[in-house]
Structure 1
Amino acid sequence: MSQYTVAVIGGTGPQGKGLGYRFARHGHDIVLGSRAAEKAEAVAIEVADRLSEVEGAGTARGANNADAIAAADVVLLAVPYDGHDELVASLPLAGKTVISCVNPLAFDKRGAHGRIINGGEGSAAESAQKLQPDASVVGAFHNVAAPALWGEDDFLDEDVIVIGDSVDGKQVAIDLAAAVTGRPGIDGGKLRLARVLEPFTAVLISINRKYKTHSGIRVTGLGH
């Protein structure tokens, strides 16, 4: 399976740090990105310390967002939805495979729920593609819990669903999913299905709150 250098934009947050750690734990190199290089470098040291005794692990370092992207084959967007469009528009993503795991969620007294994007006809991933037409944007890793990513288990017992309009872009995310779950990601269809995957995270949050766990998704019937 291919080895990648992945720039994690939002790499100092729990989701970005956790996914970066999983990628590097299983042989990929990561560059954690942040607006402030110093912040990214500090978190990269934390990740590298956890990787120091893992045989075959990739490298982890930090940089500002632009430098992280320049050094990478693949860019993971793991940023909050607030300010998402402004940030994505400012990044040098042309020609890159971009994986979005951004979940536009909101919270009220009844719990988590999905935000309505573009009147129900949009998603964070589709917004990123519109803002960066020369990038190949796919969606993946929406439904994996950050605490589980930073845990001690070698792999998470769940599946990663990958959606996108680029066959090559989806294959990159499918490959990277194996670093998280121990098996390739599952091709879930076109990019517009991010409108389903992104808000579904709110359902898992509700399950986690009810059962005091870190739930994930398993897809049955595929023979793995």
Structure 2
Amino acid sequence: MSSPSAPEAHDGPVDQRYTVAVIGGTGPQGKGLGYRFAKAGHTVVLGSRSAERAGPVAAEVTERLAGVRGAGEVSGAANADACAAADVVLLAVPYDGHAELVEALPLAGKTVISCVNPLAFDKRGAHGRVIDGGEGSAAEEAQRLQPEATVVGAFHNVSAVLLWGEDDVLDEDVLVVGDLADAKAVAMDLAAALTGRRGIDGGKLRLARQLEPFTAVLISINRKYKTHAGLRITGV
């Protein structure tokens, strides 16, 4: 299945509907993003290393969506099957083991969204890991490993707690980085499922080098202020 064509840019939620495979869909971030996408009417396949693990999580999300008018269907599958069923593949996995997993996935021709944050923790708290001597990121690694896919970075800085929370929309912005406008437009459309408005074009894929480790700053803020901080962009 080829990547979908992007709709014209406009503000607010869009009518375009996607089938999204969430790889790492049984983890808090993946489950929360899958829930939000399905709530907005997109079809979601939660991927895991085994279909047996993905199924119960998909059932949990489906139960959460009971009574939501227009909600999309949610199912679970093994990672490769989830990718095969989707237009868009979202990577929501830990960085450890990232390269091996991404290399094995059938991603050719897909729009791939990476929200992977390579972080480390020590006595002073969270901090970004140095990737390729400071000249790389998880998103760029995914693109290098899957040259026939189109990779963008998005959803790095959104709290898993808020994604699974009760608020209809999150009071923050989603920054999207990538080298192809059509692929970025897909992620910007999907951002409306979280915030009620399209995501913001943050520039080229290499800027994932800044977005990914910035999550460590938000973790520090959250610890200090006992909150779930996000980002808002003014002047746009």
TM-score by length of 1: 0.99
Match of 1:31 in 2: 45
Out of 164, 167, 183, the position equivalent to 2:197 is: 183
Does 1:50 find its partner at 2:64? yes
Aligned positions of 1:70-149 closer than 5 A: 70-149=84-163
Q: Please give the secondary structure, in 1, of the residue aligned with 2:221.
A: helix
Q: How far apart in 1 are the matches of 2:115 and 2:232?
A: 18
The match for 2:188 is: 174
Cα drift, residue 6 of structure 1: 0.1
Per-residue CA shift, 1:92-144, capped at 9, x if unaligned? Answer: 00000000000000000000000000000000000000000000000000000
Please give the secondary structure, in 2, of the residue aligned with 1:82: coil
| Matched letter for residue 97 of structure 2 | G
In 1, Cα distance between equivalents of 2:175 and 2:118: 17
- 1:16 equivalent in alignment to 2:20: no
How far the C-alpha of 1:166 sits from its partner, in A, is 1.2
CA distance in 2 between counterparts of 1:209 and 1:152 reads 22
- 1:192 is paired with a residue whose SS is helix
Distance 2:58 2:67 in 1: 15
Alpha-carbon distance, 1:53 to partner? 1.2
Which residue type is aligned with residue 114 of structure 1?
G
The answer as to 2:6 corresponding to 1:6 is: no
Two-structure CA RMSD over aligned residues (Å): 0.4
**Distance apart, 1:184 and its partner CA:** 0.2
* CA deviation after TM superposition for structure 1 residue 31, in Å: 0.1
Q: What is the aligned residue count?
A: 222
Superposition deviation, residue 52 in structure 1: 1.0
Displaced runs of 4 or more, over 6 A: none
Q: How many Å separate the matches in 2 of 1:210 and 1:117?
A: 27
Q: How many Å separate the matches in 2 of 1:90 and 1:63?
A: 16
Which residue is equivalent to 1:214?
228
Instruction: Return the TM-score normalized by structure 2.
Output: 0.94
Name stretches of at least 5 consecutive residues in structure 1 with no aligned partner.
none
Match for 1:203 among 206, 217, 233?
217
Report percent identity of matched pairs: 78
Secondary structure of the corresponding residue to residue 106 of structure 2: coil
